[in-house]
Amino acid sequence: MDRHVKNDYLWLQGRSKTAYQILGIDVKSDLNTIKKAYRQKALIYHPDKNNSDNSAEIFREIVTSYNILSDINLKTEYDNYISTKNNIINSSNNVKSKISNNLKNEKIAKFKADLKKKEKDHKLKTEILENKKLDDLRNYIPSFEKLYNQPKSSIINDYKINDKNKMPTLTVVSWKNKKDFQLDEDLIKKLMEIFGPVSSVKMFDNEPNDNYHSANVDFKSSIGAALASTHAYYESSKQWDHINMHKISTLLRNVEIKDAYKIDWDNVDTTKLNSIDFISYSILME
């Protein structure tokens, strides 16, 4: 390869397009196709016929591409160069893709780990809150140690209810209205009895198209009312798992003490409360 040809060959290697792309032909094109493509391009981009600023450079690309591809030895060498270059590019792209996938997988794994940690922390906080309520009961109910491993509803059922409770037992329960599934008084009673025995349930005059429905629920004990009104309904519904009402319980939105505004909570004389009312007051004030 003489010096002039070598310089052209190296110059062509530095172009953004290959000789085949410059002439607009396939790598398997024969000599006749190469010559035909060269003539067509040369007629368009010859500086004597094309006044564009880059016509001379484009014409040099066309001539050099033709000179290389029309020489069988130069074409073979050039094809080997193109093949090696493509292999390097593909290998580099594979490495980049692998690195990108690894980074993506690491991000997904980190996201899942963070989500799992948040769920674990949330579960722990919920358990701490529930255990605190149970600890309150243990502190004020003498027989609690014997009943400690039983559900809260069992604890309240087994403990003797004082008929002179002064803390409120009447609550207002609200839930999401589903047109294809309606909660009735029996279902509301079963849902609320997780907190303690229920005396009665009375539905409001709910309209079918209302987003939320409500009912008055009167507990037999103020403890049941206190536990129901302090439960985080948006966060936890596992309490209903053992009675197979987990899915239905997710419709619950809120429980409020009926006429809570009538009670002067800050000035309650706790020394005059009976044990049941004192427990209820402690739960409500925590």
Neighbours of 21 (CB within 10 A): 13
Pair (254, 173) in one structural domain: yes
**Residue 270 lies inside a defined structural domain of this protein:** yes
Pair (182, 66) in one structural domain: no
First to last CA, the chain: 93
Q: Indicate the number of domains in the chain.
A: 2
Pair (39, 166) in one structural domain: no
Q: Which domain holds residue 63?
A: 3-70
Pair (151, 259) in one structural domain: yes
CATH code for the domain of 262: 3.30.70.330
**Of 271 and 83, more confident:** 83
In the predicted structure, residue 262 carries a pLDDT above the cut 50: yes
Pair (51, 164) in one structural domain: no
70, 96, 127: which is the final residue of a domain? Answer: 70
CATH code for the domain of 15: 1.10.287.110
Pair (148, 49) in one structural domain: no
Q: What is the pTM for the complete model shown?
A: 0.45
**Residue 14 lies inside a defined structural domain of this protein:** yes
In the predicted structure, residue 42 carries a pLDDT above the cut 50: yes
**Of 152 and 12, more confident:** 12
47, 70, 93: which is the final residue of a domain? Answer: 70
70, 95, 114: which is the final residue of a domain? Answer: 70
In the predicted structure, residue 148 carries a pLDDT above the cut 60: no
DSSP string, 221-234: SHHHHHHHHH--TT
Record the tokens describing residue 90, joined without a space.
Answer: 């593909």
